[in-house]
Amino acid sequence: MVACYRGFQSVVALLSRCPFLDVNQQDKEGDTALMLAAQAGHVPLVSLLLNYYPGLDLERRDQRGLTALMKAAVRNRSECVAALLMAGADLTAVDPVRGKTALEWALLTDSFDTVQRIRMLLRRPQIEQLSQHYQPEWPALPGLVAQAQAQAQATPSLLERLQATLSLPFAQFPQEGGVLDHLVTITTSLASPFLTTACHTLCPDQPPALGTRSKSVPELLGTAPPPTPAPQPLQVVPGSRVLIPYQSHEGVLSMCPQWLQPRDSSSPRPQAPKIRLSKASSSPTQYKLQPRPRENQRLALPVWRYQELRMERRRQEEEARWAQN
């Protein structure tokens, strides 16, 4: 939890190899490691927890009933919200106090980036470029080519020429489905040389999708430890008898001190310790408080250096005046 809150990525990566670590452990406020990393905005740590910690509970709630997705939405952590949603976090879950979802919490706290990211994921809920069936062709390219050819054949009018000459190019935001969007999609696809030389996917037929719980890397490789079985209540069979071996009391009582062991009339009792009180030979000397003189009861004011110089100058002036008289 401390490593996730502070952003220690190497420590979290090293702890993922520990099989006895409970990643869903909660503190006194009910926060888990995923909640602390999500609300702090540590995107690499959130991805590390989602991909390398099997058995991670995305819907664990704190004492106020908030999930990790709601906490990230309140803090406007749009990248953490996107990672949680693509890992299978429930967007329709509501808190028990105010009954709001993560999107409603983002709207309530003016988290504009998070709202825009959630709406974009709702429009495109699946990462198509991480599938083997993805086609790298741009769907809008044939229509744009035909439009450009039609404009090239037609003779532009004088007004269109003036407009093209006098128009100033302004910076525009990238459009969804535009050429920049298609460039990013191609460079992050499985057929991209930037991605194939760095890593390879373990499930190319199941790309990440919104609301679909994805498996972690140890679960895909089969190296994840088996989940701990839930404790089952003891079943009492009617008519069965359980025999408990006899244990003598001497074995337990021998470890107790002698004064705690039970005694009977025949056993000798130990003698009680005797406490002797002795009176002091002489009375202790009593000190009487002596009253201080009145003039010494108050603290003397400090005399500073400039005051000493002033007093000495006055003394010299008086001596000179008496000498003249």
Q: Are 218 and 75 within one domain? A: yes
Among 15, 19, 20, CA closest to 33: 15
84 with 8, same domain: the answer is yes
| pLDDT of the residue at 295 | 55
Residue 95 shares a structural domain with residue 131 = no
Residues 203 and 219 in one domain: no
Instruction: Check residue 167 and give its pLDDT.
Output: 75
Write down the pLDDT at residue 242: 44
Confidence of residue 232 (pLDDT cuts 50, 70, 90): low
Percent of the chain with pLDDT over 70: 75
User: Could you tell me if residue 317 is inside a domain?
Assistant: no
Q: 93-102, 154-163, 188-197, 294-303: which range is least confident on average?
A: 294-303
In a domain, 76, yes or no: yes
More confident residue, 297 or 277: 277
**What CATH number has the domain bearing residue 97?**
1.25.40.20
Give residue 244's pLDDT: 45
Within 13 A of 112's CA, how many CA atoms are on the CB side?
Answer: 0
- Residue 201 CA to residue 55 CA, distance in Å, equals 20
Least confident of 6-10, 141-145, 235-239, 318-322: 235-239
Please check whether residue 34 is in contact with residue 26, taking contact to mean a CB–CB distance below 8 angstroms: no
Nearest C-alpha neighbor of 121 from the set 69, 171, 86: 86
Same domain, 187 and 96: no
In a domain, 113, yes or no: yes
C-alpha to C-alpha distance for 129 and 201, rounded to whole angstroms: 12
- Residue 273 forms part of a structural domain: no
Residue with token string 């007004």: 159
The average pLDDT across 277-290 equals 61
Q: According to the model, what pLDDT value does residue 198 have? A: 61
Q: Which domain holds residue 194?
A: 127-136+176-207
Q: Specify whether 5 is located in the same domain as 103.
A: yes
Mean pLDDT of the region 198-224:
77
* 90 and 202 within one domain: no
218 and 96 in one domain? yes
* Cα–Cα distance, 41 to 35 (Å, whole number): 10
192, part of any domain: yes
Clarify whether residues 114 and 203 are in a common domain.
no
Structure tokens at 257: 């001190």
Residues 132 and 81 placed together within one structural domain of the fold: no
| 142 φψ region: left (φ > 0), alpha (ψ -120 to 50), beta (else) | alpha
- Determine, yes or no, domain membership for 81: yes
Count structural domains, the chain: 2
Instruction: Give whichever of 118-127, 135-144, 286-295 has the largest mean pLDDT.
Output: 118-127
> Of the ranges 74-83, 139-148, 257-266, which is most confident?
74-83
pLDDT for residue 251: 52
- 17-31, 76-90, 223-237, 292-306 — which is least confidently predicted? 223-237
The average pLDDT across 131-148 equals 79
Q: Examine the domain organization and report whether 45 and 23 are in the same domain.
A: yes
Over residues 264-275, mean pLDDT: 61
Any domain includes 78:
yes
Q: What would the mean pLDDT of 156-181 be, rounded to a whole number?
A: 76
Assess whether 49 and 122 both reside in one domain.
yes
Question: Higher pLDDT residue, 294 or 153?
Answer: 153
**Is the Cβ–Cβ distance between 124 and 82 less than 8 Å?**
no
Q: Is the pLDDT of residue 229 over 60?
A: no
Q: Is there a domain that residue 293 lies in?
A: no
Provide the pLDDT for residue 250: 52
pTM confidence score: 0.61
Q: What pLDDT is attached to residue 166?
A: 75
Return the higher-pLDDT residue of 75 and 168: 75
Instruction: Give CA angle at 105 (99, 110), nearest 5°.
Output: 150
Comparing 256 with 177, the larger pLDDT belongs to 177
